[in-house]
A and B are shown apart, each in its own frame.
Chain A
Amino acid sequence: MTDVPDRDVLLEMQRRMIRIRRFDERASKMVKRGQIPGTVHTSIGQEAQVVGATMALGTQDYMTGNHRSHGHPIGKGAPLGPLMAELVGKGTGVCKGKGGSLHLADFAVGSLGESGIVGSSIPIATGAGLSAKVLGNGRVALAFFGDGAANQGCLYEAMNIAGVWKLPVIFLCENNQYALSTPAHTVTSGVIADRAAGFGMPGVRVENGQDVLAVYDAVSTAVARARADEGPTLVEVVTYRFNEHSEGLRLGVDYRNADEKAEWVAKDPIELFKAELVRRGVATEQELDQLAADVLAEVDEAVRFTDESPYPDPSVAFEDLYTDQPQQPALAGAHQ
């Protein structure tokens, strides 16, 4: 067990969980109103799993993620305005409007990018761990991926190379028990965390992934191990997404039954942690309500920033492909 974090850290955990919740609730609304184009996946219900992991990292540490993408950079401390602007496709977006919801990245806080290709960013985080090791800068890298991604081959190539090179990498499986409509147990042989044994690394299963401190504890242990040059850890966190796979998605089949849903929705990580903070005397209910209100104001501000931001100039489509070459639209055939 790692030490109980101090008051500021505990409150910051709650703040970041609420940030994710309010941000995603707002994004969901904006999708319904047609204000956000494209596909959006929320982390509502999974906030403890996200924040327990990101808060165990420092800002300098690296992180990659997946399509369920907003929580990761928010959890890592990214400001909300440029994230929201990115979802809408504004020029002030964190990726200048070229990434969108699926591909958020904020390098300033170590967020190296979310991948729309399931599993594909795991090798990138592994490489960030390699650079940390070669340069000896003491950083660690964490790869978020789902239970669905846990069946991609690149995970096992990555775990093997991270194991054999003792890279400071944490493989963090967000087991929300479904990959879109597919229940994990129907496509997953054995227990995901147990797969670590095959690579000679610890495999930890956090059964109650709605408890932010349980996740924080497991990931902190993995981070300490990585920083001590003892190599990677696989952490599987069992959690649940409260919303549909993506916003606005309507499937004809009810692949998650109502009882199961109700049981998990009752385990709201934000409510649970609020009660815990009050119980421990860390803050009063009133103080925590104020904290939630402050976060709501942050989200309002992010939306205002987004609304006031211009769309990018069309020429931006031709930028950032290479570091040293302006694109040549004429030769590229785009403007002919």
Chain B
Amino acid sequence: MTVMSYLGAIGAAQREAMQADERVIIIGEDVEANVYGTTGGSGKSRAQQGDFLQMFGKNRIRNTPISEEVIVGAAAGAAMTGLRPIVDLSYSSFLYMAMDQFVNQVAKNRYMFGGQASMPVVFRSAMFYGLNTGAHHSDRPYPMFMNVPGLKIVAPSSPSDAKGLLRAAVDSDDPVLIFEACILWGTKEDVDENEYRTPLGVGRTLRTGTDATIVAVSGAVPEAVAAADALAQEGISVEVFDPRTLVPLDVDGILQAAAKTGRLVVADPAHRTCSASSEISALAAEHIFDQLKGPIRRVTTPDTQIPFSPALEKQLYPNRSTIADAVRASLGERRHGTDGANGRTIADDSIDVKEVPAS
């Protein structure tokens, strides 16, 4: 075991994948200079051991023009013809530039051509929400892509998952979109430095409990854990479940975790309408309605754009306090100073953005 940050774990997984298979290449803007911190060694300097360009050369480290549409489409075409590219799209807001390629080519080609194509390609992107980057860089767009059959969607919430899920994604013969949460970049934990894979479609139980269940996604996971720990102090026992991948979705794991306590809170940093939380809630309503003791509650980002000012932005995302309030509400208790009914919350300083490394 080695202590790794979330970002460091991603870099380690990329290095492992590049070393394990010559067909793996990295494509993206500014990957040569390791601007986003996942194509370098342990140090910042080029000369230091671990620099991807030095290790793997220009043929496999493909620094691109700012041309997301062809980056995505060419990675797909390369994957259809023998390579296994990892594409670094940097900010997840830039995926929209390549929407046609994602939706019409990447997702459809295997199906439309009757299984002739396989598409082993990974598209990584980072969600810079919570960092005062304003509306053009703060998106959490995974739910849009959940609505596109043919794509696999991964949202790791810890360093060890970030490493294991990325390796599994590279092994997959289908296109995988990995959404990384920048607010988690600095999170550290013990990570196995040996090769391992975390299977797609298998969630993880972070806390076991008996009174209520929180299913949390991406950056909401550590907040849900913090909420559960705070609630434990009040004598409320909370189960916390992280599906880890949204497609395939660990439906059984989610339903079991929710049915166990009969009270379900879903925490999701995406915009509320048609979010991951919408789908998770609908599945619970469809399949375990009789085992629920009360209405499902959702803690999400409300349906507004993301403002720049810290005075405005911080209040919008699910945090430990709003999640805990939703759990209390599901147990019939009064809320502590928030209005969670519309996913709207008051300012809270539980997310310390200063801990996050700048890009």
User: Contact residues of A with B, CB < 8 Å?
Assistant: 62, 64, 93-99, 103, 105-107, 112-113, 115, 117, 120-135, 137, 141, 153-154, 157-158, 160-161, 164-165, 319-325, 331
A128 and B80: CB pair below 8 A?
Answer: yes
B87 CB to closest chain A CB (Å) equals 11
Q: Which residues of B contact A154 (CB under 8 A)?
A: 69-70, 73, 100-101
The interface size of chain B toward A, counting residues with CB under 8 Å, comes to: 46
User: Would you call B192 an interface residue if the criterion is a C-beta within 8 Å of the partner chain's C-beta atoms?
Assistant: no
B44 CB to closest chain A CB (Å) equals 27
A158 and B70: CB pair below 8 A?
Answer: yes
* 13 A/B residue pairs, CB under 8 Å, sorted by A: A96-B114, A98-B114, A99-B114, A103-B113, A105-B114, A105-B117, A120-B105, A123-B72, A127-B75, A127-B79, A134-B59, A134-B83, A320-B114
User: Contact residues of B with A, CB < 8 Å?
Assistant: 23, 25, 59-60, 62, 64-65, 67, 69-83, 100-101, 104-105, 109-118, 149-150, 152, 172-174, 248, 251, 283
Q: Which residues of A contact B76 (CB under 8 A)?
A: 123-124, 127
| Residue in A122, A319, A331 whose beta carbon sits within 8 Å of that of B115 in the complex | A319
10 smallest A-B Cβ distances: which pairs? A127-B77, A123-B73, A127-B74, A96-B114, A95-B114, A157-B70, A124-B77, A320-B115, A157-B67, A127-B78
B175 CB to closest chain A CB (Å) equals 9
Count A/B pairs, Cβ under 8 Å: 154
B203 CB to closest chain A CB (Å) equals 15
Q: Which residues of A contact B75 (CB under 8 A)?
A: 127
Chain A residue nearest in CB terms to B75: A127
A112 and B69: CB pair below 8 A?
Answer: no
CB within 8 Å for A157 and B69 given contacts A95-B116, A320-B111: yes
CB within 8 Å for A112 and B73 given contacts A94-B114, A98-B111: no
Chain B residue nearest in CB terms to A121: B105
A161 and B64: CB pair below 8 A?
Answer: yes
A128 and B149: CB pair below 8 A?
Answer: no
CB within 8 Å for A320 and B74 given contacts A120-B101, A121-B105, A161-B65: no
B236 CB to closest chain A CB (Å) equals 31
Chain A residue nearest in CB terms to B104: A117
Q: Which residues of B contact A158 (CB under 8 A)?
A: 70, 73-74
Q: Which residues of B contact A107 (CB under 8 A)?
A: 113, 116-117
CB within 8 Å for A112 and B70 given contacts A117-B104, A127-B75, A323-B110: no
Question: Considering the chains assembled together, what is the distance between the CA atoms of A324 and B119 in angstroms?
Answer: 12
Q: Which residues of A contact B83 (CB under 8 A)?
A: 130-131, 134-135
Q: Which residues of B contact A324 (CB under 8 A)?
A: 172-174
A315 CB to closest chain B CB (Å) equals 13
Question: Considering the chains assembled together, what is the distance between the CA atoms of A115 and B101 in angstroms?
Answer: 11
Q: Which residues of A contact B80 (CB under 8 A)?
A: 112, 124, 127-128
Q: Which residues of B contact A93 (CB under 8 A)?
A: 114
Question: Considering the chains assembled together, what is the distance between the CA atoms of A117 and B69 in angstroms?
Answer: 14
B107 CB to closest chain A CB (Å) equals 9
A152 CB to closest chain B CB (Å) equals 9
B150 and A321: CB pair below 8 A?
Answer: yes
Query: Which of B64, B67, B172 neighbours the largest number of chain A CB atoms within 10 Å of its CB?
Result: B67
B105 and A124: CB pair below 8 A?
Answer: yes
